[in-house]
Amino acid sequence: MDTPNTTTDAGIPAPSDDHSLTVGSDGPILLQDHYLIQKMAQFNRERVPERVVHAKGAGAHGTFEVFPDAETPAWTKADFLQPGKKTEMFARFSTVAGELGSADTVRDPRGFSLKFYTDEGNYDLVGNNTPIFFVKDPNKFQDFIHSQKRRSDTGRRDNNMQWDFWTLRRESTHQVAFLMSDRGTPRTLRNMNGYGSHTFTWINAEGEAFYVKYHFKTDQGIDNFTAEEADQHTMVDADFHRADLWNAIEGGNFPSWTLEMQIMPVDEVDDYRFNPFDLTKVWPHSDYPPVKIGRMTLNRNPSDYFAEVEQAAFEPSNMVPGIEASPDKMLLGRLFSYPDTHRHRIGANYMQLPINRPKAEVNSYNKDGQMRYENPGDPVYAPNSVGGPHADEERFGEDFTPTVQGHFTREPARQHSPEDNDTAQVTSFWEQVLTEDERTNMVSNIVGHAGADEVTDEMKERVISYWTDVADDLGKRVADGLRADADETAGDNR
């Protein structure tokens, strides 16, 4: 069978696949061997900087289809959310704290990022497999991530450093409880839910606004590893989740998730018992029952991992008409942070990469920069009088503009009621959501993590206090476990 000729990246036939150009067979290599130079220079640049967070991931293509009987027109005019509408999309799942080579099954939240290629432009939903997060103000996000990464001196991760941050920021308790439960080690990416986590704003065609939360419920059922099972898979196959997702789709076992929405009329915000924009809290389903909207199905594997999964760029600021932000402070911070990191990581023109390129027509005045391969042409400025595109503020400006007043300040959001605190919902999670077996596993996971050699005795007492604030019996069980662990260690050292 005839095979094609190897070429340079410019399409020029390559002189050799095997041998450099030298002075004689044993002589020095010549600088004029441009093909060798190209191969070496390209290889040196194969790796773009990895994501600071969510570095290790897997992804797949699919579709999102709104149920024919969905009542979405009552809440949003977003075209891709109208009854019966089917939209191409791409999903990326990830661990948060680990690097590119880390194991899939370690205890960690999982990223759950979705890109919908709608007729009105890309809509990105950048969430996690938990409905809440560790902090509620973007000013603390960088500090939180630093505490979960590696120490500057040893280059190692440090459990004492993690607990130091968590116990000093009690708002983290809800998410840490999720993390330390079996939900921190999902069995597969297919067996976990995904959440938009933040509160968003939907606006309907009449201009009415609603605050909403996204819940993608796995149709495969929730299934988690115990800590022991997760550790075993970490040793056997560091890419277990990536392999499972790929093999399921390759075998025609297409995973799916049902989108359910919680919807709150905007006039109920002020009197609601919790701050609805606090990312460390959930809206109880008894207050706002989830409404089924549609189904996401993943049915096609990437053909090139780097081009599609690694270079996929999700940003919460990509919101189509009918969807807007909310006063959620973490969301507002992420509107800047995500596109900014993409410009650093993969270049200013990352939106022209095929995986990020919208299906809708692009009419932008942005131009030039590294790796730009398509410029808008003249005119390159607005306003202009020569027929260039113009923004239709009446049709596509902000639909919902709530009144805001107050002095510049740096302080927490207003507490809505005495139960609007950092532990009330965590107590409910411990007492009402988890089974007794799950509570036992959670205590074991906490004790195992906080009992690490680097965790100081003073820090262990802070950990006990941290969980006692949630529930007395939880604090006691953690204390008993840590002290038993300490006694066992002391016995081993005798």
Catalytically active residues are 54, 128
* Integer Cα distance of 469 and 475 in angstroms: 8
Other CB atoms within a 10 A radius of the CB of residue 485 amount to 16
AA letter at 325:
A
What is the secondary structure of 387-443 as a DSSP string? S-----HHHHS-S------------PPPP-STT-SSSHHHHHIIIIIS-HHHHHHHH
Question: Given CA atoms 49, 53, 59, 61 in this order, what sign does their dihedral have?
Answer: negative
DSSP 8-state assignment for residue 299: E
Q: φ, ψ for residue 335 (rounded to 5)?
A: -60, -35
* Integer Cα distance of 212 and 382 in angstroms: 35
DSSP 8-state assignment for residue 308: I
* Integer Cα distance of 46 and 62 in angstroms: 27
* Integer Cα distance of 177 and 174 in angstroms: 5
* Integer Cα distance of 216 and 58 in angstroms: 17
Tokens 């060798």, residue located? 36
Closest CA to 191 of 293, 104, 119, 279: 104
Query: In DSSP terms, which residues pair with 291 in a beta bridge?
Result: 261
SS3 67: coil
SS3 34: helix
What is the secondary structure of 209-221 as a DSSP string? EEEEEEEEEETT-
Residue environment code for 39-78, b if the CB has 16+ CB neighbours within 10 A, otherwise e: beeeeeeeeeeebebbbbbbbbbbbbbbeeebebeebbbb
Q: φ, ψ for residue 350 (rounded to 5)?
A: -60, -25
CB of 170 within 8 A of CB of 297? Answer: no
CB of 346 within 8 A of CB of 311? Answer: yes
* Integer Cα distance of 218 and 424 in angstroms: 27
